[in-house]
Structure 1
């Protein structure tokens, strides 16, 4: 699974993430990990994303998560 993280949003304390395996891409925000001084911890957030990714992979294998259907042409 390939995991791509976006820019930390200090207002929501989250990071947009894309989890991609094969042709399936799942996008969602994940909670960022903050250091004791309140600053963003990129390395710990990457580890958190990998933990979330294991759950996403399990849901993909069960068919719970798939690609969004294409919008109908007008």
Structure 2
């Protein structure tokens, strides 16, 4: 299930749980975004796989650390 297909109430509930420190909720939100994040990173980094993987990991760590500042759950993916 992708963030786009999650029901709005479910998405909001998962974001609120993640904001309270629930790593499982964050994983449910973030895991479906992985392939898209990787494609964008690989494109920007001209196909350097290891660098793209590092960029995705850094982006997800930053998202986890800053999930508390997300005001609109529907914008989680962006």
| TM-score, structure 2 as length reference | 0.39
Higher strand share: 1
| TM-score, structure 1 as length reference | 0.40
Q: Which has the larger radius of gyration?
A: 1
Higher helix share: 2
Structure with bigger RCO (C-alpha 8 Å, 6+ apart): 2
